[in-house]
A and B are shown apart, each in its own frame.
Chain A
Amino acid sequence: MQQVSELLRIEGATKIFHMKPMLGAAHEVVALNNISLSIRPGKALAVVGESGSGKSTLGRAVARLFQLSSGTIAFKGRDIAGMRSRADKLDYLRSVQMVFQDPFSALNPAHTIRHHLERPLMLHKKLRGEALDSAVQEVCADVELDPSVTLEKYPHELSGGQRQRVNLARALAVGAELIIADEPTSMLDVSIRRSVLDLMRRMKETRSITFLYITHDIATAQFIADDIAIMYAGQVVEWGAPNLVISNPQHPYTKLLLSAVPDPAIKLDGTGAKSFASEAQAVRALARKASPEVVEVQPGHFVRKFDAV
């Protein structure tokens, strides 16, 4: 088999949604505009952007929840749109798992945690009986939940953090190689957020699980990711190693985003409120323009070309 240095390669991905609202005129929304990114095996790529930037659409495209308008997504060197046979599709769906933002609605309230973990093991690994039971115990322990306490419980009896662990366990159970985590911690309490992030980082480091981490919080992206991509209005405006991007931001939007991250050392005094608002507006207008050209700032740090402000 051909050795690939990239687990996932997104090349020129574009997705245009044709909106036909009940009221108002039909129009098009360019959710993804010519996106090219790749993820190395066992690494985490964080896609950072505000709501509406297209970051979740990107995650869904990778999960094969819809087809791209143009461009390709290749998993281990194979175009996922070209997977025709049932075996190929099943294999891809097994290898690429998704963890959603809302841990409350991602689990079926009518079934126990055991059921949630057994189903994927039965469907994808054809386990039965004792083998199934021990596999369930194992994945449960893998995400640091006590199987004897957790398995017979229903989702409503668990906290948000525990539920998110169950979702990660479900992805582990089928042997996921790539986990698409769409804002997995944004609905959790601050005090347990860290522990879920820690778990994801350990899954990455000890089991070589690859993550596509989608977030609006650049601080958590820095905490977990090996590469970071800043998205705005369907385009990736800047990408590279987190430290390069965060310490030496080039694109005005990246700079704006970084300047707005709360820093407890700086007290807001209300001065410059209007100038911040008008600057933010100018930067947004600038970042919204489609720009095909990319500049390599330094090895491993890229920025999309922009007009001077």
Chain B
Amino acid sequence: MTDKLLDVRGLKVDFLTAKGLFTAVKGVDFSIGRGEVLGLAGESGSGKSTIALALMRLHRPPAIISEGSISLDGEDVLAMTPERLRKWRWSSVSMVFQSAMNSLNPVLTIFEQFRDVIVRHTGVSTAEARARASELLALIGIPQSRLDDYPHQLSGGMRQRVVLAIALALEPKLIIMDEPTTALDVVVQREILQEIVELKRKFGFSILFITHDLALMGQFADRIAIMLEGKLVEVAPSAELIANPQHDYTRRLWSSMPLLTRA
């Protein structure tokens, strides 16, 4: 047993396009420890979301994983059967997408969305699922009375919290968060991140945190990986990467953000 939860070696993702093969992820190696937050930064098109999807094998044609290995908790993800994969997704690895508005089904109540996940994976009764759902809502600070509301009745911050609670429902070992707070205001963003850190301490899951906001990443991640055109150009502990960026691109990314200066 190692202390590595996720280990990715030589991962290569190709897109088969009409103009030929396009390699979006060009052989990346990284690992995430238990309880660790790894930040993945880079601009749009650098391949960070492709990595996120590939980790859960959610990539769809024309994207294919052409090389490399992914193992989570010692299990080879690329070798899983569709049956195993269905069970494994969400119970071992779950995902929080950027836009909470689009990841909740507008015609289902909050409870029904919880129920789908919980009943499907654990086979419990609706009443038990309801108890579990209200427990999860309490964790993220939303009153139980909102269970029967529809997504449009909640604010953006609340919706993002609900998505987070659904991701937590089966106590996964790894949660992939793809720009989870980009669409939110800074105050709400801070509230949610604080909650995530607290929940992480309680449950001990690991996080792959994808964002382009380096300042935010420095606050949240234990280690940061910088991605450029399908390659990881620098991986280092947050404090080190902030204080002493080695790669030219990392430095450029830093200088491209006006930071607040407090006199």
- Give the B-binding residues of A (Cβ under 8 A): 50-51, 189-195, 197, 216-220, 222-223, 243, 246-247, 256-270, 272-274, 276-277, 280
Contacts and interface: CB of A to CB of B under 8 A. Distances in A.
Nearest to A277: B191
B195 A194 contact: no
Contacts of A276: 190-191, 194
Contacts of B213: 190, 262
A273 B218 CA distance: 18
A292 to B, nearest CB: 25
Nearest to B183: A51
B15 interface: no
**Interface size class of chain B, counting residues whose CB lies under 8 Å from the partner chain:** 35 or more
Interface of B is mostly: helix
Contact of B219 (A192, A258, A262, A274): A262
B171 to A, nearest CB: 18
A269 B186 contact: no
A261 B257 CA distance: 13
Contacts of B200: 270
Contact of B186 (A194, A222, A243, A261): A261
B258 A222 contact: yes
A191 B256 contact: yes
A277 B258 CA distance: 27
Those 7 A-B pairs whose CB atoms lie nearest each other, nearest first: A264-B218, A270-B197, A273-B194, A50-B185, A247-B263, A223-B258, A270-B198
Contacts, number: 116
Nearest to B195: A273
Given A189-B212, A261-B186, A218 B260 contact: yes
Contacts of B141: 274, 277
Contact of A194 (B187, B214, B256): B256
B215 A243 contact: no
Interface of B: 43-44, 141, 156, 185-191, 193-195, 197-198, 200-201, 212-220, 238, 242, 252-253, 255-263
B187 A260 contact: yes
B191 A51 contact: no
A266 B262 CA distance: 14
A280 B190 CA distance: 10
B214 A190 contact: yes
A246 B263 contact: yes
Given A194-B257, A220-B258, 10 more contacts: A190-B214, A192-B256, A195-B256, A216-B185, A219-B257, A219-B260, A259-B190, A262-B186, A262-B218, A265-B242
Contact of A267 (B198, B215, B219, B256): B219
Nearest to A246: B262
Nearest to A50: B185
Nearest to A186: B182
A246 B263 CA distance: 8
B258 A257 contact: no
A261 B258 CA distance: 12
26 contacts: A50-B186, A189-B43, A192-B256, A194-B255, A194-B258, A216-B185, A218-B260, A243-B263, A246-B263, A247-B263, A257-B187, A258-B262, A259-B190, A260-B189, A261-B186, A261-B215, A262-B190, A262-B219, A263-B260, A264-B214, A264-B215, A264-B238, A272-B194, A273-B194, A273-B195, A276-B194
A189 B44 contact: yes
Given A256-B187, A261-B186, A263-B219, A190 B257 contact: yes
Of A256, A257, A266, A270, which is in contact with the most chain B CB atoms at under 10 Å from its CB?
A270
A194 B257 CA distance: 6
Contact of B262 (A51, A197, A247, A256): A247
Contacts of A268: 193-194, 197, 219-220
A218 B257 CA distance: 12
Contacts of A273: 191, 194-195, 197-198
